[in-house]
Amino acid sequence: MADFLSLQDLTRVFTRDAFVTHPDDARCRVYHTRVSGQRFLEVHTLANEHVWFAAPVQSLRFLLEHYTRVRDASTTACVMLPSDAMQNHAGLRALLQGWQKMKTFPAGYPLLVRATGEPRLALPFSVDIMYDPPKPAISLAQKPTPEITPFLRFVGTVAGHRARMAADTQASHCFVSAEFVQRHGLLTSPTALTVTLANDATSRITEQCNFHISIPSKCGIIYKHKITAFVLPMGDKKQDMLLGQNWLQWEKAVIDCDGAGTVSLKRAGLILEGSKSEVLAGDDYELISAEDTARLAAAGARCFTINITEKHMHTLAHGEAHEAFSSSPLTDADIPEHVSPGTRALLMQYKGVFGHPKGLPPDRGIAHVIPEVEGARPVYSRPYRLSPKESEEVQKQIKQLLEDGFIEPSTSPYGSPIIFVPKKDGRLRMCLDTRRLNAQTIPMRTPIPRPEMLFDALQGAKHFTALDLTSGYHQILINKTDVPKTAFVTPFGQYQFKVLSFGFANAPATFQAVMNKTFSDMLYNGVL
């Protein structure tokens, strides 16, 4: 056994040993060993106990799983395990989440002693002592007082799924609906806590979740944060998640319910707009059957008939009406002189296809997103100095981009400077220096076609054609909530892209995904 005296000084007196290979090694009043027939897995409660774990890694996982099921808020424990165990065993890492590392003993340290005090062999490897402290009181609703502020509701995402959330000053911690977790298949980890409900009743919590939430802020920037929430059945379908006091305190939040109905997050530097109403704008509702509808109507429920007609997607993109996607017809002057007469005639025959695109593209089912790492802040850089030729060129290109509807004036806190790259024909290509933004962008993964499969698909082919899209990136929309992140600064003002542009991380992955979706029925069968 380990030297309990020094470890008990760090925590408190151990009351139970979960694994002993021989009774002589036990240092606790209650111990469990295969020799005596006592099994820790048969224990049903650990209230007010301090448990010691020192077992082989293979056995430790089963012991800890049982511990999380039967422990309560007053239970504490210490576990001794190899220092690399949590790195090599994902199961142990999940079970020990929230435990504190109290001490590390290096290899060779004479930590282990017998019950008589005689030393054993020195440690063959370094070990960590992890401590599970008592859990704080978990409450879903405190006693109501005149100072308690009503909660505000938001619509955002939880683990990437649309969810209804509420900032609740009466909840001590964050809670997520068990129904929401089950509906979306969210991963959970075991825990064992008791929560006090609003009616002073108690409920057992056995699971918790770790995920990211996102909520649109007042300025258009998406607030993102990683949250640990307890899984709790919520029969009330008005919200899927409660953001409690631990989140409000972390963000140094100030709730204004009487005025604009906002939550000011001082740590994040953002303002969230909420609603005190139980009905949220854009909220979704559960579908009911025709029989249920007739029964509700007969009972006096108010019913409405809504006639829905299809609207062209171009008028809905980015929440505002804009010119539909089109292309100006190709003219003879647009065709280079070296093009043969036959090819020139073919191009002019389909001049509408080879024209210059104008207006926002249609919704292709995939928009470019710019996900950022946790804790990322808006990045802004001053515009670079431009030569007279570059200054003239930037004004010309910005004018054209505005006319085409690809950019718009911006007041975003983001801002990347522009640079010019010469083309082969001597013209200048305007690019964005997005290195700082890309450094905090989460990379996306898109499968790259295997060369051998491409060569296999060419077998038997006789005619080959290579197509190059005109402004290919500009034919893909930027996700509406990520448009402010595309902002760029020039000596003549700040603008932001509504379509994909060169320089952004994950742009090739998004383009590849759009191509795969567009040609899904023809991939490796005429299109590579």
pLDDT digits over 344-392, tens only? Answer: 888 788 777 776 666 777 777 788 889 888 888 899 988 888 888 888 8
78 or 285: which carries more pLDDT confidence?
78
Per-residue confidence band for 319, with pLDDT thresholds at 50, 70 and 90: very low
Note the pLDDT of residue 117: 62
Do residue 351 and residue 390 come from a single domain? no
End position of a domain, from candidates 273, 288, 307: 273
Q: Is the pLDDT of residue 126 over 80?
A: yes
| Domain contains 118 | yes
Distance CA(34)–CA(42), nearest Å, equals 12
Contacting residues for 186 by C-beta, under 8 A, at least 6 apart: 159, 176, 180, 209, 211
- The answer as to whether 66 is a domain residue is yes
Residues 461 and 498 in one domain: yes
Higher pLDDT, 236 or 461: 461
Whether the pLDDT of residue 9 is over 60: the answer is no
Looking at the fold, whether 128 and 163 belong to one and the same domain comes out as no
- Range 63-89 average pLDDT: 84
Tell me: do 331 and 440 sit in the same domain: no
Same domain, 429 and 408: yes
To the nearest whole number, what is the mean pLDDT of the chain? 77
Residue 321 is assigned to a structural domain of this protein: no
Q: Would you give the end-to-end CA distance of the chain in angstroms?
A: 65
Residue 179 forms part of a structural domain: yes
More confident residue, 219 or 312: 219
H runs (alpha helix) in 315-450: 341-349, 388-404, 435-439
pLDDT band with cut points at 50, 70 and 90 for residue 496: very high
Q: What are the tens digits of pLDDT across the range 193-207?
A: 778 776 677 778 888
CA–CA separation, 253 vs 236, rounded Å? 25
Claim to verify: residue 40 and residue 67 sit in the same structural domain: yes
Whether pLDDT at 313 is above 60? no
In a domain, 487, yes or no: yes
The helix (run of H) or strand (run of E) holding residue 97 is none
Residue 179 has pLDDT above 50, yes or no: yes
Does one domain contain both 156 and 80?
no
Range among 45-49, 97-101, 475-479, 482-486 rated most confident: 482-486
Residue 161 pLDDT > 50, yes or no? Answer: yes
Does residue 441 register a pLDDT over 50?
yes
Q: Looking at 132, 164, 182, which one is the last position of a domain?
A: 132
- Whole-number pLDDT of residue 57: 84
45 and 127 part of one domain: yes
**Number of independent structural domains in the chain:** 4
Amino acid identity, position 411: T
What sign results for the dihedral spanned by CA atoms 398, 401, 402, 406?
negative
Q: What is the DSSP letter of 18?
A: S
Higher pLDDT, 421 or 237: 421
Residue 347 lies in a domain: yes
Predicted local distance difference test score (pLDDT) of residue 37: 54
Confidence band (pLDDT; 50, 70, 90) for 488? very high
Are 343 and 447 in the same domain?
A: no
CB-based contact 429:422 (threshold 8 Å): yes
Residue 168: pLDDT over 80: yes
CATH of the domain at 164: 2.40.70.10
Own/partner pairs for 401-406, CB < 8 Å, 24+ apart? 401/495, 402/495, 403/358, 404/357, 404/358, 404/359, 404/474, 405/322, 405/323, 405/358, 405/359, 405/360, 405/498, 406/360, 406/474, 406/497, 406/498, 406/499, 406/501
pLDDT of the residue at 310: 53
What confidence score (pLDDT) does residue 103 get? 84
Percent of the chain with pLDDT over 70: 77
Residue-wise pLDDT tens digits, 380-398: 988 888 888 888 888 888 8
Q: Answer whether residue 282 shows pLDDT above 60.
A: no
> Is residue 374 assigned to a domain?
yes
Give me the residues paired with residue 132 across strands.
77
Residues 369, 481 share a domain: yes
Decide which of 295 and 464 is more confident. Answer: 464
Q: Quick one: CA torsion of 58, 63, 65, 67, rounded to 10 degrees?
A: -160
Range 53-81 average pLDDT: 83
Residue 335: domain span = 327-355
In the predicted model, is pLDDT for residue 29 greater than 70?
no
- 418: CATH: 3.10.10.10
- For the cut 70, the answer to whether the pLDDT of residue 237 exceeds it is no
Look at residue 414 in the predicted model and tell me its pLDDT.
Answer: 92
Tokens at residue 411, please? 């007041």
pLDDT over threshold 70, residue 234:
yes
Q: Is 372 found in the same domain as 490? A: yes
The two three-digit tokens of residue 71, written as one number: 């422990």
177 backbone dihedrals φ, ψ, rounded to 5°: -65, 135
Predicted confidence at residue 389, as pLDDT, reads 87
In the block, residue with structure tokens 């020799």: 35
pLDDT at 34: 56
Q: Do 487 and 415 fall within a single domain?
A: yes
Does residue 287 register a pLDDT over 70? no
In this prediction, residue 1 carries a pLDDT of 46
Q: What is the pLDDT of residue 486?
A: 92
Residue 526 in domain: no
Task: Annotate 35-61 with three-state secondary structure.
Answer: CCCECHHHCCCCCCCEEEECCCHHHHH
